[in-house]
Chain A
């Protein structure tokens, strides 16, 4: 790996370390000046999640809350945040990439002089990381921390230079040609920041996101990407951050339109909305993760009639589906009339349908007939 690349990675790390240091210094400064120990962070409750209609994303509001060390109700979380920050400092300094679970174990120990653990559950250290992301305006991947993800796969006319920095100096660079891959395609790594995943060349004209891996394989084997000049991506169900981030990058850096294919049910449609608008939990990350320009290709209940699927593909709605569709109906980002019509149709007809149901027509119906037809007709939902 050449020096320039290493330098690029190092520059990002230095910036992160600087922000960590300044953040800690500001705590001590306030202690001296204001005679109080606190950190200020955006409120991360539903009340502070807002729907930005203009941008088409779920964003975090501007409400701030303070966490005081001398308030016993806040003290432990305060301590957890500081200690997680100091662990992140170690990670970044040593150039190691680690997982949320690893980090959890590095802060799960007994606080000296007490019988209490600094953290007991992983969600405590996860929360501390999220707090630091919002306070420092740094995303977790830049802290060298990944989730247990690795669910994403990609294939198509794209050239990628994947850089793997190593603490022992034996950095690796892998050249990826998206048209020369095996059945599994390219496994989207947990961190896809530009300094790690350098996209060299894109010839594709659009991105097709397919909800499930098995369906993605259908498209891959059929060389859909070749025939239609597309990048095909799957997040393997609910997408991890890296897959969403990569879709986001492809759209913003290469102006590629993004189309999403999911099951015709509330769960699939919500997965689409997470690619498009971001999630409630990670609302603060929407500017990095969401792709508001994404369009929904299918499946819909209307498709059942339009494509004349046999009635045997129908799956009766479960109680959970009915409850969930009611929630979707009320999300502001689903208020558009096209979607409301689909929700009503689902409620009226009381069935749902999977991508795989397309095989009932013939084996390659989905990749050879259905998707091309939809693309041709530009029959997308907003």
Chain B
């Protein structure tokens, strides 16, 4: 299972506050440093997604003020489209208000539990509401303070006022306790640095608690292309997705909800499915229970297995799965009949158009602008699918030398930096599995930055913490392929550098020998030492003229 969905099951059974407290470590709020980074992530992500949706080049400023021991004020301000005043309270005051179902494109927002999580964390640690200042640019600025009503999971607007103002965008101000700021590898600083790297169209201005301001300037002025709206594919769906969808869908039955909100399921397919789960699929969505949603997901999984294995499909395994779908024992005859019905079900494959990779050229530009390396090798692989239906795409950038000092692996999922759980991540494993010496660099001990970005409508995370990519064979292999492809380009470069270095080394040695040789020959011939030296020197220069040409060529290549 790529996603830990169990925690969301509890969500409907307990109060919001209890849910949060019990699960905050899995939602990114574990540890003082990480909690702060998570809060920044949630707000910055919202800003970026909002800007991209309307094609604005994002200008985001993040600032942290230290108010006391483990007590900070966080401000995130963007130049986005603003949030209409009637929607804002939901965004910041209701957990899981709408999952990705209200925007069916590949967004960053798959991670964490959203802006309301920040509100809740602030509320739990400081007892204070979050302050939102937003305007859609219509001349009116709205300022409100919002909390989460923890018993009902509804927004509780503490204050709300508006005034005329010439401003478009959103500013969120929130106080947090039990958090700590430092500049380590899990810090807000690192998070923003990497966000800027994977999003070269973004400018981020960061004010640290000590007043130090860092600006990560955009290196491209081309906004990100918006993903084509696409419905989620049933093969990648989770129980939580179905359950959440059922709460907001306006369809009359679950079956209709499925045909209209999921990708690739036609009327023929749903009729076949109705033979298996008639009661669940004929219900109004609002009445769907978590367990029923689970069965529907099980059914999709069975269909996926059949689609994947085709003729190799093992009937016995199918019957076992079918029992889980139905939640009860079933006699073999009947099971075989049902499986035969399912064999007729055709679900269209997902469209890969929905993926939004960073883009080869953009990665190149960004790595060069941000890291000032001496060489960059970038690979953008073609989209692939895993689990028989979920599209994903791998991009790899390797930057070497220049201003880079140490080895660094930067992992990204949908352009969002993954700072934590690096050890258990398929990206880390893939990087480790490569014999880098074959490509001329012992990367782990060299000034090398490797960035890997995985784009997918459903990133296969290991846990709900969503900081590590699961070991899905298709994904793992694809990452390795991308790394090796980038490695091959790197190899070309390193061998050139190697041979140039060798030549330079040789020339240097001869340059040291030369005056000394001149002296010896001058002694033997009685000629003037300086005259001899200049004659010999011109020979040396002539011989190594090629070296300069080679060096120039190398500069051109890496430019």
Q: Which residues of A contact B (CB under 8 A)?
A: 20-21, 23-25, 27-28, 31-32, 35-37, 69-70, 72, 75-76, 78-79, 82-83, 85-86, 89, 111-114
Contact = CB atoms under 8 A, between A and B. Distances in A.
17 contacts: A21-B526, A24-B524, A25-B525, A31-B539, A35-B539, A36-B539, A69-B510, A70-B543, A72-B510, A86-B523, A89-B523, A111-B512, A112-B515, A112-B516, A113-B512, A114-B509, A114-B512
B226 interface: no
B510 to A, nearest CB: 6
B520 interface: yes
Interface string B492-519: 0000000000000010011011011100
Given A21-B524, A86-B524, A111-B513, 6 more contacts: A21-B525, A24-B521, A25-B525, A36-B539, A83-B520, A113-B512
A124 B281 CA distance: 93
A17 to B, nearest CB: 10
B540 interface: yes
Given A21-B526, A28-B532, A28-B535, A85 B513 contact: no
Contacts of B523: 86, 89
A72 B509 contact: yes
Interface in B526-559: 526-527, 532, 535-536, 539-540, 542-543
Contacts of A82: 517, 520-521, 524
Contact of A75 (B513, B535, B539): B513
B539 A79 contact: no
A75 B510 contact: yes
A20 B524 contact: yes
Most buried by A among B506, B521, B535: B521
Interface in B290-348: none
Nearest to B514: A69
A32 B516 contact: no
Nearest to B523: A86
A335 B510 CA distance: 49
B525 A24 contact: yes
A124 to B, nearest CB: 15
Contacts of B536: 31, 37, 69
A79 B517 contact: yes
A37 B539 contact: yes
Contacts of A111: 512-513, 516
A37 B517 CA distance: 11
Interface of B: 506, 509-510, 512-513, 515-517, 520-521, 523-527, 532, 535-536, 539-540, 542-543
A165 B536 CA distance: 39
CB-based closest 9 A-B pairs: A24-B524, A82-B520, A72-B506, A86-B523, A113-B512, A24-B525, A114-B512, A86-B520, A83-B520
Contact of A28 (B510, B516, B521, B543): B521
For chain B, what secondary structure do more than half of its interface residues adopt (helix, strand, loop), or is it mixed? helix
Contacts of B513: 69, 75-76, 79, 111
Given A70-B539, A112-B515, A28 B520 contact: no
A86 B523 CA distance: 7
A50 B513 CA distance: 36
Contacts of A32: 535
A78 B517 contact: yes
B542 A35 contact: yes
A28 B520 CA distance: 12
Contacts of B517: 69, 78-79, 82
A37 to B, nearest CB: 6
Given A32-B535, A69-B510, A72-B510, A79 B524 contact: no
Contacts of A75: 509-510, 513
Given A72-B506, A79-B516, A85-B520, A28 B539 contact: no
A28 B525 contact: yes
Nearest to B503: A72
Nearest to B502: A72
Contacts of A86: 520, 523-524
A27 to B, nearest CB: 6
B528 to A, nearest CB: 12
Contacts of A25: 525
A304 B491 CA distance: 73
Nearest to A72: B506
A27 B539 CA distance: 13
B516 A31 contact: no
A23 B543 CA distance: 24
A313 B524 CA distance: 59
B523 to A, nearest CB: 4
A84 to B, nearest CB: 9
A79 B525 CA distance: 15
Most buried by B among A25, A37, A86: A37
Nearest to A36: B539
Nearest to A118: B516
A347 to B, nearest CB: 52
A85 B516 CA distance: 13
Contacts of B509: 72, 75, 114
Most buried by B among A23, A36, A75, A78: A75
Nearest to A32: B535
B545 to A, nearest CB: 12
A273 to B, nearest CB: 38
B22 to A, nearest CB: 66
A113 B244 CA distance: 75
A35 B475 CA distance: 60
B516 A89 contact: no
A89 B539 contact: no
A148 B558 CA distance: 61
B524 A31 contact: no
Most buried by B among A70, A112, A113: A70
Contacts of A85: 520, 524
A31 B535 contact: yes
A90 to B, nearest CB: 9
Contacts of A112: 512, 515-516
A27 B513 CA distance: 16
A27 B524 CA distance: 11
A377 B536 CA distance: 67
Contacts of A78: 517
A166 B510 CA distance: 40
A210 B457 CA distance: 98
A39 B147 CA distance: 90
A23 B524 CA distance: 9
A32 to B, nearest CB: 7
Contacts of B535: 28, 31-32
B521 A27 contact: yes
B489 to A, nearest CB: 30
Contacts of A28: 521, 525, 527, 532, 535
B538 to A, nearest CB: 9
Contacts of A79: 513, 516-517, 520
